[in-house]
Amino acid sequence: MKRLFLYGNAADYPNYCAAFAALNAEVVTDAPERCDALLLPGGADIHPRFYGQEIAGARDIGEARDEAELALARQFIAERRPIFGVCRGLQLINVALGGTLHQHIEHHDAIDEKETVHPVYTDDAFFTALYGPRFHVNSWHHQSIDRLGEGLRPILWADDGCIEAVRHETLPILAVQWHPERLCLALARPDAVDGAQLLSAVLQAF
């Protein structure tokens, strides 16, 4: 059974835990040195000071989590160990590698507390094999990558140009801006892809 390390309280991330448990993997919050990968989940905005900016659209900031997850990301990067990021996790990986963020964008956030769905496109072999060159994903974010972090390559985009996934050119790092953990099991929906396919592929790759 593969183990993914997550900073914080696992009970705060039931969708991630359930999705990976269904794939015979475990999300844990101790002993990162004994885990197969680092999981960086969604959540609040990263304080802009970590990428050299003043607050200009960022909200619901938690700097203690920022500091802890940035330290973990940089540790795993230095050790060349696998990292998988989701939403905020993608943004945090980008910041850890020296990139910056758009602090606020339109048309990607939830509407009346419900996730929106939109098409994305790719020419990346990994995603094309899973879902084809164009498919629909969920969306619940109001920030996105601006300047890419060192070594990151965009591999999935929304029609408005928003980067929806990145991989590292030489390290085992993959991250998505959408939420596959909320597109599987009881949360699967007919108007978007099956998130379990991506999570399963990530576990096999790592």
- Cα–Cα dist 144/202, whole Å: 22
User: pTM for this one?
Assistant: 0.95
What pLDDT, on the 0 to 100 scale, is given for residue 132?
Answer: 98
What pLDDT, on the 0 to 100 scale, is given for residue 60?
Answer: 87
Annotated domain spans of the chain: 2-205
Question: Which amino acids are annotated catalytic?
Answer: 87, 179, 181
Closest CA relative to residue 96, chosen from 36, 55, 58, 150: 150
- Cα–Cα dist 199/17, whole Å: 12
What pLDDT, on the 0 to 100 scale, is given for residue 112?
Answer: 47
- Cα–Cα dist 67/14, whole Å: 23
Radius of gyration of the chain (CA): 16
Q: Which one is the CATH code of 2-205: 3.40.50.2000, 3.40.50.11540, 3.40.50.880, 3.40.1710.10?
A: 3.40.50.880
Contact 127, 156 (CB under 8 A): yes
* 127, 147, 167, 205 from 96: Cα distances, Å: 24, 12, 14, 22
pLDDT: which is higher, 161 or 109: 161
pLDDT digits (tens, 9 = 90+) for 5-37: 999 999 999 999 999 999 999 999 999 999 999
- Cα–Cα dist 24/139, whole Å: 26
What DSSP character marks residue 114?
B
79: number of CA atoms within 13 Å, CB side? 16
What pLDDT, on the 0 to 100 scale, is given for residue 109?
Answer: 62
pLDDT digits (tens, 9 = 90+) for 85-139: 999 999 999 999 999 999 887 765 654 456 788 999 999 999 999 999 999 999 8
Where does the pLDDT of residue 154 fall: very low under 50, low under 70, confident under 90, or very high at 90 and above? very high
What pLDDT, on the 0 to 100 scale, is given for residue 110?
Answer: 56
pLDDT digits (tens, 9 = 90+) for 176-196: 999 999 999 999 999 999 999
In DSSP terms, which residues pair with 28 in a beta bridge? 5
The dihedral region occupied by 111, where left means phi > 0, alpha psi between -120 and 50, and beta the remainder, is beta
What pLDDT, on the 0 to 100 scale, is given for residue 113?
Answer: 55
Three-state SS at 31? coil
- Cα–Cα dist 184/130, whole Å: 15
Q: Residue 165's Cα: distance from chain center in Å?
A: 8
- Which of 99-103, 141-145, 161-165 has the lowest average pLDDT? 141-145
